[in-house]
Structure 1
Amino acid sequence: MPDTLGRSALWLAAMAVLAACLTAVNLAPGLASLGLDRLLAPVPSDVEAMVMAYSRLPRLCIGLLCGAALGLSGTLFQQVMRNPLASPSTIGVEAGAGFALAAATLYLPGLLGWSRGLVALTGGFAAVALVLMIAGRFRFAPLAVVLGGLVVGFYLSAATTTLALLHEYRLAGLFVWGSGSLSQQDWRPTLELLPRLALAALAAALLARPLVLLQLDEAARGLGLRIALVRAGALAVAVALAGFTVSAVGVIGFLGLAAPSIARAIGARRLASRMVVAPLVGALLLTVTDQALQILTAATGMFLPTGAVTAMLGAPALFLLATRLRAAEPQHGARALVLTRVSSTWLVALLATLAVLALASLVLGRDLGGAWVADLGAGLEPFLAWRLPRMVGALAAGALLAVAGVMLQRLTRNPMASPEVLGVSAGSAFGLMVALFTMSAPGQVALTACAALGAAATLGVLLLGVRRRGLGGNQALLTGVAVAAFLMALLSAVTATGDPRALLLMGWMAGSTYRVDAAGATVAAVLALAMLPALPALARQLEHLSLGMPHARALGIPAERSALLVLCGAGLLTAAATLIVGPLSFVGLMAPHIAKRLGFARCLPQLAAAALLGAGVMVTADLLGRTVHFPWQIPAGLLSALIGAPILLVLLLRPQRRRARQSAREPIRA
């Protein structure tokens, strides 16, 4: 498709004018009052000149550099992976860099003094290497690449947050860093970043032509192109761009996904054009956001993280772009993401394992000296009022999220769909935030109702965005990512205000079960038990809907009504579970995939196995969360990612037996 560079130029000019106007409003009064002499040679006693010379001007420059770097990094990732969802965030680069920086701060602080950027690069490259190992099992199918990136990113992000909670004083600045902050104290970070990004940009320019030929696949090999070398070089450049940015200003990862998509939408459809337009879009978008935030902070005194607000501005643009994408069916590599069908004895084994874990969660604990004890008989009775609601709530929440994940994956026919990825969990969190800020003392019923309304509203927005082209393929995912990014950015901005209600919301978002009471556990348990007899009927509906809307209609199924009921049911299950374990447990993504990799390919067995697996993961996370760091607690939502993600990674990396591959005549589509 040819470029429309005139249209691109108009959009860029409009963004540049907006950025210039905001910069003038923010900086021009101070520059005019200072004069050139005071600005070029500020003295320590001249506070106004020092702030302008060593904080505000460097902040402007580093914002331009980081926005451009993330725009170019996302463009390279999307070109190499041939996937519009690829970005430094979805491939796990930023999560890997953040984990490396956190671990180095705690255990090898000397490395940070030697080269902070090299530490971030090492973490980013390690994350990408792990993602490529997973994707290589499935011949680098686009969805396998992004699924591996999401799992690796979830795990490393959860590990980083856990380290921050365990060492809150030493890693206190990690939360601000995780939201992306452009605040500067001198020109040193800018001067260090500039030559690094310049070299990376030069390398990207040299790779532009080979990357265009890369689209020809085997024909490119016939022309003498060394495909593996070109891919490795482009990935190295993309990781370097993202890693240097993360080490300088923290996570502002949404630009890596949004800037290339916006560049393509405004007319830069060829790679060479996108490699110019996307960095400009990223630089201007980040500058507009940061200058507007500085004006807002000066007027109100309210601090908001730049990275979170950038996502709030970019997500609506990405949502509009997603509604215009052509629908594409999920792509599968030569190796399916499932194994063969298994017998029902595995379900019995999973059920028995869950019973053992539930019993252990009730009886195991730590005494005042920190020793492990098993409370039995009369010694257990004082603890039941505390442990039983937590165990029941965690068990029910894990099962509800897992079933909701299967429902969404089957309905959208996309293995990456989940309550978290499609924004349903974020919608529940938004509904809870509304309840906390508009009601004086909301009860459990009111909180559940508001969370359910938030989830339903999110699903409605998702349906509105994809109503013309169906729920399959990348379009629904891109729309869901945009909605989730906007809502989570809004929640991050609210929690940054310091309001006590916002602090309560922030604690809940970590996914801790220590606030679960009998009423909350009862609501979740009733929903989970009511769900059981409906599973066979639900499985039949999902089997028909997973064939696609036209096939379902041909079978006489009211496809639209059935799809709406499935979506609403998934929203209700997610809302109830989100109240207990927060919006970031990712059980809804991991449990269905673990069930499929264990061999539960048919819909009803997958629903049952995923429910048992999700419940088991959450019960284990709750038990470990209250005992491993006694007397402090680790949120179960974080630990569920730390427990479930490695299991899924091992299953994805495990070689498939030849007999299993031969017996599966056709992949079971998610």
Structure 2
Amino acid sequence: MGAGAPHADRPAAPRPATHHGLGAAAREVPLQPVRPVRVAGVFVVAAVAILLLAAVHLTQGTSSVGAGDLLRLVFGQGTDNAANVLVASRLPRLLAGVLVGIALGVAGAGLQSLARNPLASPDTLGVNAGAYLAVVIVAAFGVSLPALPAGGVAFVGGLAAAGLVLVLSAGGSTGPTRLILAGSAVAMALAGVTTLLLLLYREETVGTFAWGAGTLVQTDLRAVTQMAPIVALGILTAFLLAAKLDILALGDDTAAVLGVNVRRIRVLTTLVTVMLSAAAVTVAGPVGFVGLVAPVLVRLTAPLVPGLLRHRVLLPLSGLAGVLVVLASDVVLRAAFGGQAGVEIPTGIMTMVVGAIVLIWLARRHRDSGPSRSPGGTSSGLRSRRTFWIVTAALVVLLIAAGVGAMLTGDALLRTGDLANWINGASGRAITYVLDQRFPRVASALLCGAALAIAGTTVQAVCRNPLAEPGILGITGGAGVGAIATLILLPSASIWLLSGVAAVAAVVTFGLVYLISWRGGLSSDRLVLIGVGVSAVATAIITLLIVATDPWNLSLAMTWLSGSTYGRTLPQVLPVTIALIVLTPVVVHARRELDLLALDDDVPRILGVRLERTRLLMLLAAALLTAAAVSAIGVVGFVGLVAPHAARALVGGRHARILPVAALLGAILVSVADSLGRTVLAPAQIPAGLLTALIGAPYFVYLLWRTRVPTR
């Protein structure tokens, strides 16, 4: 530390992340001197808390073995049954929780230091999603690996995902919002591929859905004992990097002047943190948000105990905080729902809820990154009116071709003559039946694609962020909760009831996000971050509902959550049709206000725009359009993200031109995805939402790459 210590009290060495929502804790200068007595006291308190939680944890389970039986074992007076329960079930679960907690806690602290971002974690950087996908790919091909090779597979997947997110988000140097959006979108794309594999290889991947939420259920100590040396090596390496990370916290330029090889330290830190995260995933699956919450708990304590932000203290203490989070979540889960719930309900659901609440709390304290962001279209330059009309005409032709192609393709391929006869009412009975079934699906795909694109255009303008999309408002998460709850409580519910509940839940969730985000005004960044947090809570609730009820609902629930037009009828398309007819003119009428909102907050006020009222009206219109689309065909991702940006690239930044072009692009994208999903593996069908993720993800990666901030 020697070279950096004299600079500890300089005000000119704040971390770039000090604006982003950790209050006093984030503004602590990381090179303050360590107070050994106080720091030791914190470690003692954490250790005592862990011991108490561990004692309670060991008394919980499905058997009748209680605290008295375990206490008698300590004095050599216990029964063989108590000993068997302790060794075969409870001790492995406890040790798994300790191993996972310490690995994710240290990994989260390292990733936050690496990204200089208090919201970085194995979840927000896509590490867990990448590791999970890699494990599912191996399982889908029928390969059963021991813990150590499986850990290697998870490491490769997590490393690829984290590297992609860090590169695309410019190392997090542009603030937490970009990092969160980049990580969320990459994780969404990876989750789409994972869900596709789970649906296509149901027998080979059975049991991985619950495991994918993070479960501490262990049948023996094999996984823990094999991963423990990996975790120990990762923690030791992280501790050896601690002094360099302290200096790196002062900034890359300062660190380079002080002799630190910045690139090497970043690469080593990435490898170590991903290795720790992969080890945790191998043992218990992707346990959510522990890597976010644990370092936050330490940073919140930092103002009371100087020196906690030195990495030689921060890293191990974050590991202990991670153990506390995991064990406390598991204890609360089994105390609230019973011992059997510990087997059926993943512990990761509880940690995800806790982490999402912490994320929302941090977002409430967050301040905007500044007016430097734009929705992307403003930098696209102006296009001539001739260009606009050429693009629009070409897209109309493509839309007609997509619609006709969708009517002709599927498990039975038809000809254009069959379609012409059907339109004229002269087709045969078999052809009529097939086309009668296809038309509502084609119509729902076209209309929902247009609705999602218009909603995405509106959200990106209001949030002034090209990476925003309707799902970040919590709409799709709320709709998912409503729909899955309806499927479980009323399995025979009509599609109207299912769609209605989903739509109401979506709008209510959006209202909750908006109210929580309001703090003397609406911050665009705060809205995005809170939307991500609320969506995480919704995901946890959906997972809980699915794994805690009839497993036969799993395929139906996953299909709906993946976005499918299967079984749609014309009356079910009516809500999204009404939403488009009513709300599209409202959005188009506000096209000038959207142009101004996309600039900054000051220009609209100067020109007389009622900023908050306009924002609320536009976001409400976007929420209703998205809710209508989600209630009609389920959750379809990336359309509201990709279509608006592609429209800006084609016709410039004026919303009078963006809106119609984006609507056409969205309709084409969903229609093509639905047609491919009905045709590629016919008679089996791939949900349209999964294919939009597979189609949209590469474009989104390209978008992230183009809009990244170059680092020196």
For the aligned pair, the TM-score class normalised by the smaller chain equals 0.7 to 0.9
**What is residue 15 of structure 2 aligned with on the other side?**
none
SS at match of 2:519: coil
Residue 2 (structure 1) aligned to one of 5, 28, 34: 28
Change (3 A) 1:134 1:340: farther
Alpha-carbon contact 2:678-2:684 (below 8 Å) kept: yes
The letter of the residue matching 1:2 is: E
CA distance in 2, matches of 1:12, 1:425: 38
Residue 87 (structure 1) aligned to one of 98, 121, 133: 121
**What is residue 523 of structure 1 aligned with on the other side?**
575
Change (3 A) 1:55 1:545: same
Q: Deviations over 1:143-171 (max 9, x none)?
A: 55544433332222211211121111011
Residue 405 (structure 2) aligned to one of 353, 356, 360: 360
Q: Which deviates more from structure 2 when the two are superposed, residues 637-646 or residues 591-600?
A: 591-600
Change (3 A) 1:646 1:654: same
Change (3 A) 1:526 1:327: same
Alpha-carbon contact 1:311-1:486 (below 8 Å) kept: yes
CA deviation after TM superposition for structure 1 residue 525, in Å: 2.4
Change (3 A) 1:49 1:644: same
Task: Give the percent of matched residue pairs that are identical in Structure 1 and Structure 2.
Answer: 35
Structure 1: stretches of 5+ with no match in the other structure: 662-670
Matched, 1:167 2:204: no
Matched, 1:32 2:58: no
CA deviation after TM superposition for structure 1 residue 330, in Å: 6.5
**What is residue 461 of structure 1 aligned with on the other side?**
512
CA deviation after TM superposition for structure 1 residue 544, in Å: 2.7
Matched, 1:613 2:613: no
SS at match of 1:495: helix
CA distance in 1, matches of 2:486, 2:159: 42
The letter of the residue matching 2:465 is: N
**What is residue 540 of structure 1 aligned with on the other side?**
592
Alignment of 1:535-574 (within 5 A): 535-574=587-626
- State how many pairs are aligned: 651
**What is residue 347 of structure 2 aligned with on the other side?**
306
**What is residue 275 of structure 1 aligned with on the other side?**
315
The letter of the residue matching 2:467 is: M
Residue 134 (structure 2) aligned to one of 81, 97, 100: 100
CA distance in 1, matches of 2:164, 2:282: 21
CA distance in 1, matches of 2:447, 2:350: 34
Q: Deviations over 1:31-89 (max 9, x none)?
A: 6326776999999xx56533320221111111122122222222222222223332222
Cα RMSD between the aligned structures? Answer: 3.7
CA deviation after TM superposition for structure 1 residue 225, in Å: 1.9
CA distance in 2, matches of 1:90, 1:138: 11
CA distance in 2, matches of 1:231, 1:542: 40
Alpha-carbon contact 1:338-1:597 (below 8 Å) kept: no
**What is residue 400 of structure 1 aligned with on the other side?**
451
CA distance in 2, matches of 1:59, 1:406: 47
**What is residue 66 of structure 1 aligned with on the other side?**
100
The letter of the residue matching 2:354 is: L
Alpha-carbon contact 1:141-1:332 (below 8 Å) kept: no
Residue 284 (structure 1) aligned to one of 321, 324, 327: 324
CA deviation after TM superposition for structure 1 residue 336, in Å: 9.6
The letter of the residue matching 2:344 is: F
Alpha-carbon contact 1:413-1:473 (below 8 Å) kept: yes
Residue 677 (structure 2) aligned to one of 625, 643, 650: 625
**What is residue 581 of structure 1 aligned with on the other side?**
633
Q: Which deviates more from structure 2 when the two are superposed, residues 409-418 or residues 478-487?
A: 409-418
CA distance in 2, matches of 1:403, 1:111: 46
The letter of the residue matching 1:320 is: W
Change (3 A) 1:95 1:433: closer
CA distance in 1, matches of 2:179, 2:650: 20
CA distance in 2, matches of 1:247, 1:440: 35
Q: Deviations over 1:529-566 (max 9, x none)?
A: 44443343232222233344444333222222212211
Residue 533 (structure 2) aligned to one of 479, 482, 486: 482
Matched, 1:328 2:380: no
Change (3 A) 1:649 1:320: closer
SS at match of 1:365: coil
CA deviation after TM superposition for structure 1 residue 496, in Å: 1.3
Matched, 1:236 2:288: no
Alpha-carbon contact 2:503-2:631 (below 8 Å) kept: no
Alpha-carbon contact 1:409-1:417 (below 8 Å) kept: yes
**What is residue 665 of structure 1 aligned with on the other side?**
none
CA distance in 1, matches of 2:173, 2:71: 61
Alpha-carbon contact 2:105-2:290 (below 8 Å) kept: yes
SS at match of 1:253: coil
The letter of the residue matching 2:226 is: E
The letter of the residue matching 2:443 is: V
CA distance in 2, matches of 1:538, 1:548: 16
CA deviation after TM superposition for structure 1 residue 628, in Å: 1.4
Matched, 1:188 2:240: no
The letter of the residue matching 2:309 is: R
CA deviation after TM superposition for structure 1 residue 593, in Å: 3.6
**What is residue 315 of structure 1 aligned with on the other side?**
356
Change (3 A) 1:117 1:311: same
TM-score, scaled to structure 2 = 0.81
SS at match of 2:410: strand
Q: Deviations over 1:579-608 (max 9, x none)?
A: 133235242233334444556433333333
Matched, 1:383 2:434: yes
Q: Which deviates more from structure 2 when the two are superposed, residues 647-656 or residues 452-461?
A: 647-656
Change (3 A) 1:128 1:617: same
SS at match of 2:212: helix
CA distance in 2, matches of 1:500, 1:186: 25
CA deviation after TM superposition for structure 1 residue 16, in Å: 4.7
Q: Deviations over 1:90-117 (max 9, x none)?
A: 2222222122222223448376687111
Residue 349 (structure 1) aligned to one of 386, 394, 397: 394
CA deviation after TM superposition for structure 1 residue 359, in Å: 1.2
CA distance in 2, matches of 1:65, 1:144: 31
Change (3 A) 1:179 1:440: closer
Alpha-carbon contact 2:108-2:292 (below 8 Å) kept: yes
Residue 514 (structure 1) aligned to one of 566, 569, 577: 566
Change (3 A) 1:160 1:23: same
The letter of the residue matching 1:83 is: N
Alpha-carbon contact 1:54-1:185 (below 8 Å) kept: yes
CA distance in 1, matches of 2:552, 2:603: 48
CA distance in 2, matches of 1:128, 1:179: 19
Alpha-carbon contact 2:462-2:598 (below 8 Å) kept: yes
Q: Which deviates more from structure 2 when the two are superposed, residues 291-300 or residues 28-37?
A: 28-37
Alpha-carbon contact 2:73-2:83 (below 8 Å) kept: no
CA distance in 2, matches of 1:372, 1:78: 55
CA distance in 2, matches of 1:20, 1:543: 57
Change (3 A) 1:206 1:337: farther
CA deviation after TM superposition for structure 1 residue 21, in Å: 6.8
Change (3 A) 1:113 1:94: closer
CA distance in 2, matches of 1:394, 1:585: 13
CA deviation after TM superposition for structure 1 residue 185, in Å: 0.9
CA distance in 1, matches of 2:127, 2:664: 32
Residue 224 (structure 1) aligned to one of 235, 259, 272: 259
Change (3 A) 1:593 1:208: farther
CA deviation after TM superposition for structure 1 residue 478, in Å: 2.5
Matched, 1:648 2:682: no
TM-score, scaled to structure 1 = 0.86
